[in-house]
Amino acid sequence: MEITELRPSLYLVRVGFGQLYLWRDADVVTVIDTGIDGSGPAIAEAVRGLGLAPSAIERIVITHGHEDHAGSAAEVRSWHGAPVHVHEADAAFVRGEVRRPDPVVTEFDAPLWEQISALGLAPTPPTTVDVLLHEGDELDFGGGATVLSIPGHTPGSIAVYLPGPKVLFTGDTIGTTPAGEVMLGVFNQDEDAQLESFHRMAALDVATACFGHGEPVVTDAGRAMREAAASHRKRRLV
């Protein structure tokens, strides 16, 4: 586990596979995504690293239902009942009622898809979904957080925007390359819809953008997202 303070109240936590974020308000914490199954101990350690007990977790917000984002939601919820928040369109597969849909793999995605598939990531243990999220919902952290429905990566993908500190959590709709360049995320179900979502987020007043994969952009993120969205070209299907 590795924890990095990106700016006051905001922390990046790298787990065994992927990453998640913590937002601290005084003595309570919001967890944005939970990593793969088995990431619970790392999350608990990260919260303790802030000088708080895991019981300080007030809510769990899942940006979408893939294994590396919802994988430890059930475990974290089991500690003391912190409510799990998921968009209505992804809730059924987070609850384990249906199998999550596979992405439409593009030529760009194919080599990485083979690598990820070979890892054999454990499926997400089903969890209770306590709060169904929708476009425009407000969450009580970071001075007021707004839920944006951004379908494309999955039907129920969300972003969470904190207009006060100008922080945006994008899930996997946007990411960065190993060189730190902002890009459209991979492994999507509807890339046209996702690109529309990308442009929508790029139009926001954002200082810090927190991605599901890749390095966050801590300053002037809105400009970086707008430049990336403007230069994106449609990727071909395999």
Say if residues 22 and 29 touch (Cβ distance below 8 Å). Answer: yes
Interatomic CA distance for residues 76 and 64, integer angstroms: 16
Q: Whole-angstrom Cα distance, residue 16 to residue 84?
A: 21
Q: Per-residue confidence of the chain (238 residues) as pLDDT tens digits?
A: 899 999 999 999 999 888 999 999 999 999 999 999 999 999 999 999 999 999 999 999 999 999 999 999 999 999 999 999 999 999 999 999 998 888 888 888 888 888 888 877 778 899 999 999 999 999 999 999 999 999 999 999 999 999 999 999 999 999 999 999 999 999 999 999 999 999 999 999 999 999 999 999 999 999 999 999 998 866 665 4
pLDDT of residue 116: 81
Token match 């919260």: residue?
47
Exposed/middle/buried for residue 231 (C-beta within 10 Å: 0-12, 13-18, 19+): exposed
State the pLDDT at residue 146: 98
pLDDT of amino acid 238: 47
- Tell me what pLDDT residue 234 has: 62
Q: Report which of 205, 212, 141, 200 is spatially closest to residue 176, judged by C-alpha positions.
A: 212
Fold of the domain spanning 2-96+103-231: Metallo-beta-lactamase; Chain A (3.60.15)
- Indicate the domain borders of the chain: 2-96+103-231
Encoded amino acid at 183, one letter: M
Query: Are 167 and 210 contacting, i.e. CB atoms less than 8 angstroms apart?
Result: yes
Those residues whose C-beta lies under 8 Å from the C-beta of residue 178, and which sit 6 or more positions away, are 214
26 Cβ contact list (under 8 Å, min separation 6): none
d(CA 42, CA 57): 14
Q: Give the integer Cα–Cα distance in Å for 210 and 137.
A: 19
